[in-house]
């Protein structure tokens, strides 16, 4: 895949993507023109009524006025939302981006959903999504856009806490057979919320199997920036119970990039070693 080095081009590609999706950015006149066009249509309707071509009551005239105001208010708010998301997106662009353009359907779907996102924390997530897709088109699926578009701020906060406990690949390895995460910000009710939101699979009994690596005599696992080794005697395959993220959840986890909770990792180590495992964790500061 061809790569464009940073020389203003990532920003240029972002602007091009936005312009193709919603037209010229940072130009309130376009919103005004759209609102004026709707106002003109309504004014002509009023003229027809005034001439007796259409007989309507004064109350209905007031409804038309309110409809005009509501239309303009809605479109202005949508433009404000989109410009805020694009501004946030610019801060997350990589220094190099693919030459491949963002898919037309993806772009259309993104802006149709993003325009109604007014919460600043959620706008930050949408900004990261846009930056990721501009950098590497095809990175974020339509399904993930759909899941995120239905996500509330509370659900996003719960999911971010769950990401702090997850290894790369989108899974929380359980320390035992229970969903024992209460001391680390996630209780069972939270898991039910995440299931309903389409971010984790709907099962308490999922397992994951790993083949051991002969070079390290165990399994290498990434917990953010911390890489640890898990093994169990001479076993060539080890199994853990897990909470598994859906594909949409896994994509969103990588976008959020939450700081990992090392307290949970050491709790996991303690509990698994009681079960005959060996968990080697290197000393590392500021793990993420």
Looking from the CA of 173 toward its CB, the CA atoms found within 13 Å total 25
Average pLDDT, the chain: 85
- Model confidence at 69, in pLDDT bands (50, 70, 90)? confident
What is the rounded radius of gyration, in angstroms, for the C-alpha atoms of the chain? 25
Helices (H), the chain: 9-22, 28-50, 58-90, 104-114, 120-135, 142-149, 153-163, 188-196, 247-256, 262-274
| DSSP letter for each residue of 100-122 | SPPPHHHHHHHHHHHTT---HHH
Local structure of 240: helix, strand or coil: strand
3-state secondary structure of 222: strand
14: Cβ contacts below 8 Å, ≥ 6 apart: 86, 89, 90, 93, 130, 131, 134
User: What percent of the chain is predicted at pLDDT more than 90?
Assistant: 61
- Amino acid 3: pLDDT: 38
Cβ atoms of 231 and 217 within 8 Å: the answer is yes
Rounding to the nearest 10 degrees, give the CA dihedral for residues 192, 197, 200, 206: 50
User: pLDDT grade, residue 275 (50/70/90)?
Assistant: very high
Nearest 5°: phi and psi at 13? Answer: -65, -40
**Is 30 a residue whose pLDDT tops 70?**
no
Task: Band the pLDDT of 26: cuts 50, 70, 90.
Answer: very low
Judge whether 226 and 128 are in contact, CB under 8 Å. Answer: no
Cα(163)–Cα(153) distance, integer angstroms:
15
4 pLDDT more than 50? no
Q: According to the model, what pLDDT value does residue 283 have?
A: 63
| Mean pLDDT confidence for 267-285 | 89
Direct distance between the N- and C-terminal alpha carbons of the chain, in angstroms, rounded to an integer: 29
Asked if the model's pLDDT at residue 2 lies above 70, the reply is no
**pLDDT value, residue 48:** 54
């Amino acid at each position: 895949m061809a790569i464009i080095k940073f020389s203003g081009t990532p920003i240029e590609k972002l602007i091009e993507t936005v312009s193709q999706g919603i037209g010229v950015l940072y130009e309130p006149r376009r919103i005004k023109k759209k609102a004026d066009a709707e106002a003109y249509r309504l004014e002509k309707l009023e003229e027809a009524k005034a001439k007796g071509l259409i007989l309507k009551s004064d109350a209905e005239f007031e409804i038309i006025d309110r409809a005009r105001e509501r239309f303009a208010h809605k479109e202005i708010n949508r433009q404000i939302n989109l410009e805020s998301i694009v501004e946030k997106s610019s801060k997350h662009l990589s220094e190099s981006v693919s030459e491949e353009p963002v898919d037309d359907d993806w772009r259309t779907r993104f802006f149709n959903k993003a325009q109604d996102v007014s919460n600043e924390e959620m706008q930050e997530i949408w900004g990261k999504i846009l930056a990721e897709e501009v950098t590497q088109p095809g990175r974020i699926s339509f399904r993930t856009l759909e899941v995120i578009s239905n996500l509330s701020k509370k659900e996003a906060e719960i999911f971010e806490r769950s990401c702090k406990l997850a290894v790369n690949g989108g899974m929380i390895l359980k320390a035992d057979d229970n969903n024992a995460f209460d001391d680390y910000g996630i209780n069972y009710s939270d898991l039910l919320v995440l299931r309903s939101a389409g971010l984790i699979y709907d099962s308490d009994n999922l397992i994951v199997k790993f083949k051991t690596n002969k070079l390290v005599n165990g399994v290498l696992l990434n917990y953010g920036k911390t890489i640890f080794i898990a093994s169990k005697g001479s076993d060539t395959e080890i199994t853990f119970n897990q909470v598994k993220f859906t594909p949409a959840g896994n994509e969103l986890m990588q976008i959020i990039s939450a700081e990992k909770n090392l307290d949970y990792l050491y709790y996991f180590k303690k509990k698994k070693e009681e079960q005959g495992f060996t968990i080697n964790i290197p000393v590392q500061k500021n793990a993420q």
